[in-house]
Structure 1
Amino acid sequence: MIDRSLTLRLLSASTLALAFAQPAIAQDVDSSDTEATGAEQADNGALDVIVVTANRREENLQDVPVSAATISSDAVQNIFAAGGDTTALAGRVPGLFVESSNGRAAPRFYIRGLGNTDFDLAASQPVSVVMDDVVLENVTLKSFPIFDVERIEVLRGPQGTLFGRNTPAGIVKIDTVKPGDEFAVTGSASYGSFNSVSIDGGVTVPIVPGIASVRLSGLWQQRDNWVDNGFTGEEDAYGAYSDIAGRAQILITPTDRLSILGSYSVRDLDGTSTLFRANILGPGTNDLNENYDRDTVFYDAGAGNQAKYNAEIATGKVEYEADFATFTSITSFANSEGSSRGDIDGGFGASFLPFMGPGFIPFPSDTQDSITLDQFTQEVRIASPSGGTFEWQVGGFYFDSDFDVTTVGFDFPPSVTVNHTNESWAVFGQATTEVTEALKLTAGIRYTEDEKAFFVRDAADPQARSVSDERISWDVAAFYELSLDASVYARVASGFRAPTIQGRDVAFFAAPSIATSEKIMSYEAGFKSELFDRRVRFNLAGYYYTIDDPQFSAVGGADNLVQLVNADKGRGYGFEMDSAFQITPDFLITLGASWNDTKIQDENLAVGICAQCTVLDPIVNIAGTDRALVDGNPFPNAPEWIGDVSARYAIPVSSTGEIFAYTDWTYQGETSFFLYDSYEYVTDPQIEGGLRIGYAKFDGSLEVALFARNITDEDNVKGGIDFNNNTAFVNDPRVIGVSVRFDY
């Protein structure tokens, strides 16, 4: 086995050294990139065309019958300038929400209110993350750092036909920059508060022009400790991280018809896991109280709240373009291993000790979860040439994963290791026909078989479980051009999330739980337009979906359990709006908004409740334990409103450059953290914004700027731990710094 840590450091160091060295040969580029929106670029006073691959082909966003949005490479650099992790994508497009109670290691994605609040490393999610055509199924793979990207696409609604099971909510699709035929160097570096550093770069080097080329890229993010431990008196004890990632790609095109792309990516994370803060909410309100101090926690356990993870992803993609079709094969191996530990109660002491705080701590809690994961995927596709009146593609997909999750309690509970395996295969097809010059119809179908197995290692009772299912997913869409500038579409899609096994509670002497497949039917209609010589883009989509047997995770509660449950039904409806306005060639505004109403529909579903908070739902006693009836409640972590706005204004100061100001803001509406309703664990609306002021060359070759993230230093509660006390965790503080970017 190759030493991944050494390989990563060598790859990242060589990439960044090349990226920040002045190239001996710099290619002139015609770049009209602005950093404005993440999805928009000014070009002669018009908005650029947005390219998406929602149908596994490159297409104009305006011609695709699906609600989708993109985040460009410029916007990605803005978002992560202060060293942010994957959760920084939350709210960057309408309908998308991301959060984590596992620090930088295991994000949870939500689209249109559908997600999974389960904090366990074995958690299943209804939002799929696909990077360079490879599904990153496990939560620790989904946290792989985002760098050197061409674009990020967010496809909203079921995507089960082309992308498989576990996509009833949608997909976050990440495409990185690929090797090319010309020498190219890109890079960025930023330095800010708390000694926050974020450096990334990419170098493309043609080996044999037209035949072989390589691209090396790397990322280094780090921050110093900045949070004090008020219990021990130690200053600057928590908050640090070092996140290093690298990628090496080689593209070989021996003929005009054949291309072979090999990719190897590695990551090494060493940092602080989520900082839980005891009793900072309530009681009887969701306001932060006197126990809250952003710069201080009070820990008597957790061993520094350390999180350490490694990951590697190796992929081979082969494409052969015949006269009648293109053949594609994508083979990928991925693994992840690491652990995170935390002082879960967020305070010190317990009710039976002479000291405790902040607030009432019934009993201490200090646990560590770790994972060792292997994943293999294989996909083959045959697709007709693009641009004809009839386009088609067929393919097959195979998925296999095997991983162990170990839970260790320090004092309690004893160490327990459980094993999860998942094997799935599918065949699929899709066709699009041009009925008239204005009307196109698309239909797709996929057959999937999925099997999961679970057992407890080194136990007298292995508590083995297995589940399986087979399903047909399908979608039908119609797209009609009203004019050259406007179109409408309608789409009906089905999807499902495969059955799931959750075994973390074995560590707490409870049986594993099982949830059967959730099945979704989604109805969507939309309007897309580009007006005034493509100076205004306005896209609007409305949707309604129903779910049979939705999977939920009843996490926490006074018993501190993670139980999978199926509700009888669920439903959601709402809209998404994406727009951009090129006011002048130097002034660009983007605006996005989504409204989402979700509801649990099950009169008998009762879940565990918090130990100290104020529950507003009807309470029933089942087997001596109080439970809340959650019928009619919204889905957890499903903001009713999500909004984003950005603006960039520039003043030319020479024939080669301009002074610019850029700002971006996100809005998160009222959000409930858990299945039950309570005063404490429902947030009020939140905002967070950034600012960037600097100088940029017109050709995109250089930018120097001052920046600020969370510029108003908002204290936003992002999640809670409810079993022991009113514990919660918050967003990152304001970071102010300087940055440099270049592109040759």
Structure 2
Amino acid sequence: MPKSPAKPSPIYLAVLAALAAPAWAQQADKPPADKTQLETVTVTAERRSENIKDVPNSVTAIKGELLDALNSGGQDVRMLAGRAPSLNIESSFGRAFPRFYIRGFGNSDFDLNASQPVSLVLDDVVQESPLLKGFPMFDVEQIEVVRGPQGTLFGRNSPAGVVKFDSVKPSQLAESYVNLGLGSFSAANLEGAINAPINAQMAVRLSMQVQHRDDWVDNTAPNPKNSKLEGYDDNALRAQFLYAPDKSFSALFNLHGRKLEGTARLFRANIIQPGTNNLVPGFDEEKISIDGRNEQNLDSFGGNLRLKWDWGSMALTSITGYEKLDSFSRGDIDGGFGASFAPPMGPGFIPFPAESADGMPKHKQLTQEFRLESRTGGAFSWLVGAYYFNEDVNIDSFNYDTLAGGVQNGYAWQKQENTAWALYGSANMVLGGGWSVRGGVRYTKDEKDFSAQRTQSPIGGGATGVLTASPSDNDTSGDLSVSYALNKDVNLYARYARGFRAPSIQGRLLFGDTLSVAGSETVDSFEGGIKGDFWNKRARLALTAFSYEVKNQQLTAVGGATNFNTLINAAKTEGRGAEIDFQAILAENLLVTLSGSYNKTEIRDPNLRIAPCGGGCTVLDPTNGSTVSIDGNPLPNAPKNVYNFTLRYGIPLANGEAYIYTDWAYRSKINFFLYESVEFTGKPLTEGGLRVGYRWDHGKYEVAAFGRNITNEIQVIGGIDFNNLTGMINEPRTYGVQFKAIF
């Protein structure tokens, strides 16, 4: 039986405490010292540092108090879902494998080789593998959500958009911090960093995170393999070294790693009432009944080197990145115990057991980018670059006979090498009279060599031969935008962008004998909006309307009666909607933010049919034999409405400030799969957080009590559809206390 996650040792905690972060003032998004104006938000959405209102693109920056509040419960990157307009994040792997959706455009594929249309960029290096996208958020300066195709400057699989993480960098300021949180389920969350100048030319920054939670879900099945579940240890480290001998050259070295051990995602059999999308009466999130084994571990390590030469009129940047990982995740997929032919069974009817695992024992990713840009600061500026990407992945898929004690009875492997390169250029021009234009173009060449084989079949299908595929494609993508300054504080803009995603391959052969290959997809997007500061910079507004059309969209038919993932292409998908970001200082100590989005997505392909559920759901789509039409359906995990609200009220005291901070996120109903059914429709979900705290000694110290999902709203947020009405739920209410100190 896998051992429960160990609690962090006192020595480990002491070491982290010694590594005590960014100065609090650098990260705070509360009003500045005079409390009369919003601080300026600077983003790098277009690879340059710019005021967010000057960027002709729909961008949200997440930092400061909101980011700290979201992190307070020890949550992973999925906590960002709904925290920016048109952003959703979900996972059937738990903390290890997040799936991102922007404007409803994403990919619900759970294969470790899945390609996603939302690119995640960490410290200027794309994290292509879905397993890399779950790297913990700690010592982060800012997160940017850039919506719409980013086919020029980011390029790599970004037709839906980019989520960009920027760590706090080394500086010449000697500082450190420690942030300790204790909470429900014996949670302990510790974050800290130390920034140390070595001399006038060099500085180092070390930062670390330790997250621990006890198992809190009781397994009530007879003779379970795991008696308690849902605990984890999730630890990560980052070390950065800056060498800047003068203003003309700098070198930034970054090494980082993560070690995750704990519980894989819990699948819960028959928790949905047939004919509805309600939880069954008496549902208890702290109990489960499974007879399979559950475990998950992931080790990742990476490094990057950023070199920059400034020659006055031009600057050259080189970014070299390397990532590797090793992972294994095993779970009871049927979500129950026993079977109809091997009683006892439950909860409810279990047609047959399903227990499987996926691992990535070998992975490496190498990237290299060169970027040359103008530095004259005149009316015309430009940027050109070259990009190289190489990734090798090995994937193992296992199946186990639960009723025979969990012995392995199925095995298949996949191997893929992906090589891509690109050339790109972008230019900005100020035309005068308040008008400016910018645009860019990118040429991409992408090649994949894939092979897979099943050597052991769990259903008596025998071994396959080695199956291969070698798709490749090239494409020219880009963008063009026009801006008009109504005045120095308010801009109007319009943008066209084209994105591209190269062919994808699906080779899950445990329950099938063929590979599926999805051809390239392209997207054309139009958006326009207004951005500005108002009321003497006491308020900031960004309002965007958009529409897009995806041609040949890559979709994944997940599960179904055959429990087999298949890649398909939809002839066309349409999306349209609007987004708003608003912040305002309503009174001297009262800050409010409000964001929201409306997204309507529709699959347009009258000839596209897939297999529906095999677990007794009520299918709503037109049926023809064993398949259903999905023409006109919305994309999966694509809520029409997303809203986010925060409020901060401060009470000045003699030596500090007491404050109340609350944040709320709402998303409307979602479809779990490409087809529509009553049971596999997720209900609207609202989650709120609350912090009450006190800061003193000029913000150097802070103590706070916090709660996450304070209303304890529990909903089914995902499903398994091949066996029974199996569901996954959101995180329950958590609460605790925090202490922060800056030195």
Q: Please give the TM-score of this superposition, normalised by the length of structure 1.
A: 0.94
Corresponding letter in the other structure for 2:315: T
- 1:125-144 superposed matches below 5 A: 125-144=116-135
Query: Displacement, 1:457?
Result: 5.5
Shift of 1:17: 3.1
Instruction: Report the counterpart of residue 450 of structure 2 in structure 1.
Output: 454
Which residue, 253, 271, 290 being the options, matches 2:244?
Answer: 253
Partner of 1:317, secondary structure, is: strand
Aligned AA (1:447):
Y
How far 1:236 sits from its partner (Å)? 6.1
Match in the other structure for 1:585: 588
CA shift in 2, pair 1:296/1:111, >3 Å = same
Aligned runs of 1:246-645 on 2, under 5 Å? 246-290=237-281, 292-301=283-292, 303=293, 305-371=294-360, 372-385=362-375, 387-411=377-401, 414-456=410-452, 461-504=465-508, 506-611=509-614, 612-621=616-625, 626-645=626-645
Alpha-carbon separation, structure 2, partners of 1:263 and 1:668: 36
CA change 1:33–1:696 in 2 (3 A) is farther
Aligned: 1:123 with 2:114: yes
| Deviation of 1:518 (Å) | 0.8
Report the residue type matching 2:374 in the other structure.
S
Amino acid at match of 1:95: S
The alpha-carbon deviation at position 581 of structure 1 amounts to 1.1
Letter in 1 for 2:357: Q
Equivalent residue, structure 2, for 1:226: 216
State the SS of the aligned residue for 1:410: strand
Q: Contact conserved, 2:28 with 2:64, CA < 8 A, in 1?
A: no
- Looking at structure 1, the residues matched to 47 and 376 of structure 2 have their Cα atoms a distance apart, in angstroms, of 11
Q: CA deviation at 1:317?
A: 0.6
Task: Tell me the distance in 1 between the aligned counterparts of 2:24 and 2:514.
Answer: 61
- SS in structure 1 of the partner of residue 330 of structure 2: strand
Contact 1:12/1:218 (<8 A) preserved: no
For 1:431, the aligned partner's letter is A
> How big is the shift at 1:186?
2.2
* Structure 2 residue aligned with 1:731: 730
The equivalent residue for 2:707 is 708
Residues 128 and 170, structure 1, Cα contact 8 Å, conserved in 2? yes
- Please tell me whether the aligned partners of residues 31 and 699 of structure 1 are also in contact (alpha carbons under 8 angstroms): no
Cα pair distance change 1:280/1:599, threshold 3 Å: same
CA distance in 2, matches of 1:17, 1:634: 48
Q: Which amino acid aligns with 2:349?
A: F
In structure 2, what residue type is equivalent to 1:599? E
Tell me by how many angstroms 1:13 deviates: 6.2
- Which whole-Å deviations, capped at 9, do the CAs of 1:179-213 have from their partners, x for residues lacking one? 0011011221111000111111111101112x010
CA contact (8 A) 2:264 2:330 kept: yes
Structure 1 residues without counterparts, runs of 5 or longer: 1-7
- 1:165 matched to 2:161? The reply is no
1:394–1:10 CA distance, 2 compared to 1 (3 A): farther
Please state how far the C-alpha of 1:428 moved relative to its aligned partner: 0.2
1:164-203 paired onto structure 2 within 5 Å: 164-203=155-194
Q: Which among 206, 212, 223 is matched to residue 202 of structure 2?
A: 212
Q: 1:536 to 1:410 in 2, by over 3 A?
A: same
Following TM superposition, the consecutive aligned residue runs of length 4 or more in structure 1 with deviations greater than 4 angstroms are 8-15, 32-36, 40-43, 233-236, 457-460
Decide whether the 8 Å contact of 1:523 with 1:545 is kept in 2: yes
Using the TM superposition, give the Cα deviation of residue 86 of structure 1 relative to its aligned residue in structure 2, in angstroms. Answer: 1.0
Once superposed, what is the RMSD of the aligned Cα atoms?
Answer: 2.0
- Distance (Å, rounded) in 2 between the aligned partners of 1:516 and 1:78: 42
Whether contact under 8 Å (1:547, 1:569) holds in the other structure is: yes
SS at match of 1:568: strand
Q: Is 1:51 equivalent to 2:54 in the alignment?
A: no
Structure 1 residue 353: Cα displacement: 1.5
1:697 equivalenced with 2:679 (yes/no)? no
Q: Secondary structure at the match of 2:342?
A: coil
1:545–1:572 CA contact under 8 A, matched in 2 = yes
Secondary structure at the counterpart of residue 353 of structure 2: coil
Give the number of equivalent residue pairs: 719
Which ranges in structure 2 are unaligned for 5 or more consecutive residues? 1-7, 402-407, 456-463
Is the partner of 1:441 in helix, strand or coil? strand
Task: Judge conservation of contact 1:426–1:446 (CA < 8 Å) in 2.
Answer: yes
Letter in 2 for 1:577: I
Against the structure 1 CA distance between its residues 157 and 10, is the aligned structure 2 distance closer, same or farther, given a 3 Å change threshold? farther
Task: Please give the TM-score of this superposition, normalised by the length of structure 2.
Answer: 0.94
TM-fit CA distance, 1:286:
0.3
Residues 1:390 and 1:728: Cα distance change in structure 2 (over 3 Å): same
The match for 1:86 among 77, 84, 88 is: 77
Deviations 1:627-662 (A, max 9, x none): 1100000000001101100000011111x3111000
SS in 1 for 2:245: coil
1:708, distance to aligned residue in structure 2 (A): 0.4
Q: Deviation per CA, 1:266-323, whole angstroms, max 9, x where unpaired?
A: 000001010110011120100001373201010111x2x1110000111011000002
Report the secondary structure of 2:367's partner residue.
strand
On the 8 A contact 2:17/2:178 being kept in 1, the answer is no
Amino acid at match of 1:660: Y
Distance of 1:668 and 1:676 partners within structure 2: 20
3-state SS in 2 of match to 1:435: strand
Counterpart contact for 1:30–1:699, Cα < 8 Å: no
Partner of 2:460: none
SS, match of residue 87 in structure 1: helix
Q: Contact between 1:192 and 1:736, CA under 8 Å: does it hold in 2?
A: yes
**Partners of 1:11 and 1:247 within 8 A in 2:** no
Specify the alignment match of 2:404 in structure 1.
none
Q: Helix, strand or coil: the match of 1:509? A: coil
1-side partners of 2:330 and 2:737: how far apart?
Answer: 33
Is the 8 Å Cα contact of residues 19 and 208 (structure 2) preserved in structure 1?
Answer: no
The 8 Å contact of residues 312 and 376 in structure 2, kept in 1 or not, is answered as: no
- Residue 106 to residue 527, structure 1, CA distance change in 2 (3 Å): same
Partners in 2 of 1:610 and 1:121 — Cα distance?
22
Shift of the 413–132 alpha-carbon distance from structure 1 to 2, 3 Å rule, reads same
Q: Distance in 1 between matches of 2:512 and 2:104?
A: 32
Aligned-residue offset at 1:388: 2.1
The alignment-based identity, stated in percent, is: 43
Going from structure 1 to structure 2, the CA distance change for 1:357 and 1:438 (only over 3 Å counts) comes to same
Q: Distance in 2 between matches of 1:388 and 1:698?
A: 44
The answer to whether the 8 A contact 1:268-1:311 is kept is yes
What is the CA–CA distance in structure 2 between the aligned matches of 1:15 and 1:432, rounded to whole Å? 48
Measured against aligned partners, the alpha-carbon deviations of 1:416-447 in whole angstroms (never above 9, x if no partner) come to 11101110000000000000151110010000
SS at 1:123 equivalent: coil
Match of 2:3 in 1: none
Change over 3 Å in CA distance of 1:438–1:700 after alignment to 2: farther
CA contact (8 A) 1:493 1:522 kept: yes
Tell me whether 230-239 or 679-688 shows the greater mean CA deviation. 230-239
Separation in structure 1 between the aligned mates of residue 145 and residue 14 of structure 2, nearest angstrom: 32
